[in-house]
Amino acid sequence: MGSPLNILIAASEVHPFAKTGGLADVCGALPKALHHLGHNVLVILPLYRCVNISQYDLRPLPQTISIPVGPKKIEGILYEGELIPGVPVIFVAQEKYFDREHLYGPPGKAYPDNAERFIFFTRAIIEACKVTQFKPDIINCNDWQTGLTPVYLKTLYAYDSFFRKTRTIFSLHNLGYQGEFDRNNMPLANLPFSLFNPAGVESFGDFNFLKSGLVYSDILTTVSKTYSQEILQPEHAFRMDGILNSRKTDLFGITNGIDYSEWDPQRDPWIKEKFSAAKPQGKTACKRALLDHFNLKSQRDQPLMCMVTRMTTQKGIDLVMAAVEQFLLKDAQLVILGSGDARFEEFFRTRKSKQLGVFIGFDEPLAHRILAGSDFILMPSVYEPCGLTQMQAMKYGTVPITSAVGGLEDTVVQYNYKTGEGLGFKFSPYSLEFFSKRVTDALTVYRDAGQWQTLVQNCLTADFGWDRSAQEYERVYRLTLAR
């Protein structure tokens, strides 16, 4: 135990205020876990239209901020709220940039001024520290939307005594999203143009916010051990292998946890009947309710599989579509909740049946009901930096069938029917043939009541809490400060 640190967590989404995926879960849970370790934590995100000011009792601060964006000065208002008592949250309000229907753009698209929006936000993060007099030891930035903050600190604010002791961490949640913008956006950032080169903020001719964070942060983290190694290989690195290899001694893999105050079948307000490892019976009522909800034919002996997912190539939707066409629905039923690429949405929308339940959209209560009521979750991801959904599923006694990549490799232990150890079923190499074999193995275990009970109990009792991961973040923060 050392002295408490001042830690700023900066992100473009934070649960419960704004969420499109796991980034929000992490940035909502990690600050709480760090607070419980005794640190002073401040969280900062944009004030989007979806954030309900009165519900969260947000109050505007008296001082405003004024951020240079190109030749203009753009005013912003800071609102203050809290994540839990003791963990304040600052919301950066700027109507023109953030009072919009979506966070980044309509499904499958990006707002054309995203560079400008997040140039404003990344510099507002720094100015907000001064306004609130929060002198951070650590600014933990997350993903491309916050990638420029470390650049500002190392250049325009390099001699600002307020940040003399501040060090930056850049946490990578997904290299597939980089914030790549035309170089014409460079003047909007008001950074020296000399930074626009391959050793700086440029990547293959573009102004790249993720690359910027990778180059200018003091330390890098990513969200699982296996992903931290995969991304050193060109096939997983989305063209960032050069910079990542040059910084590999600064790169740490810390596997995410899940937030038990949100995900716990013993306390979940959304599900039909609460349950636990000691009293697992309630899960049967949850399954029945789920079958009814999707109007699926009630077939006692059939396992119910599910997916709760962004519908993108990353998530292996192509493989699931092929499996649906060829074999999956013969011996199992499937419910899928998700939204994303039009071709995936269209496929599932047009195949709704008594065996296949489909809801296209984003619906948190339904996600809880699906994970509680299903027997299996499918996550055949092409790549998966960590993945939270498989851990949420296991916490609800729902057995994962996944590819053996990234955080899936680290969190899903292959079930061994001889020893009764393990948590799910993993396939590798990535192909329909191997996926299909694992589904067959999973169904064999499902039909053996004794084996099945053991496996479900293993999932229900596994630990995916944040405590251990938060301690690892603390260790990395201290190491960064000691350098």
Q: Which residues bind to ligand ADP, rule: CB under 6 A?
A: 21-23, 25, 308-310, 337-339, 362-364, 367, 386-389, 392
User: From start to end of 70-142, where are the E strands?
Assistant: 72-84, 87-93, 138-142
In angstroms, what is the minimal distance from the CB of 338 to ligand ADP?
Answer: 5
Pairing of strands 304-311, 251-253: unpaired
26 binds ligand GLC (CB under 6 A): yes
- Using a 10 angstrom Cβ sphere, with 0-12 exposed, 13-18 middle and 19 or more buried, the burial of residue 205 is exposed
Cα 479 to Cα 86, 169, 250, 258, 370, distances in angstroms: 25, 11, 10, 25, 41
Contact (Cβ atoms closer than 8 angstroms) between residue 259 and residue 465: no
Nearer Cβ to ligand GLC (275/464): 464
Among 62-70, 378-386, 459-467, 474-482, which window interacts with ligand GLC (CB under 6 A)?
A: 378-386
Tokens of 93: 């309000």
Q: Which of ligand GLC, ligand ADP, none does residue 395 bind to, with CB < 5 to 8 Å depending on kind?
A: none
Among 9-17, 21-29, 68-76, 350-358, which window interacts with ligand GLC (CB under 6 A)?
A: 21-29
In angstroms, what is the minimal distance from the CB of 102 to ligand ADP?
Answer: 14
Instruction: Output 443-448 pairs: Cβ under 8 A, ≥24 positions apart.
Output: 443/303, 443/331, 443/332, 445/415, 445/417, 446/303, 446/375, 446/376, 447/301, 448/417
Residue nearest to ligand ADP (CB): 22
In angstroms, what is the minimal distance from the CB of 262 to ligand ADP?
Answer: 8
Among 19-27, 115-123, 182-190, 229-237, which window interacts with ligand GLC (CB under 6 A)?
A: 19-27
236 binds ligand GLC (CB under 6 A): no
Q: What is the dihedral of CA 232, 236, 238, 242, to 10 degrees?
A: 20
In angstroms, what is the minimal distance from the CB of 403 to ligand GLC?
Answer: 12
Tokens of 267: 């306390």
Edge-to-edge order in the sheet of strand 40-46: 59-69, 72-84, 87-93, 40-46, 6-10, 138-142, 167-172, 219-222, 251-253
Q: Which of ligand ADP, ligand GLC, none does residue 262 bind to, with CB < 5 to 8 Å depending on kind?
A: none
387 binds ligand GLC (CB under 6 A): yes
Q: Which of ligand GLC, ligand ADP, none does residue 309 bind to, with CB < 5 to 8 Å depending on kind?
A: ligand ADP
Among 16-24, 46-54, 155-163, 419-427, which window interacts with ligand GLC (CB under 6 A)?
A: 16-24
Between CA 402 and CA 307 the distance in angstroms is 11
Nearer Cβ to ligand GLC (40/174): 174
379 binds ligand GLC (CB under 6 A): no
Which residues make up the interface to ligand GLC (CB under 6 A)? 21-23, 26, 173-174, 223, 256, 384-388, 407
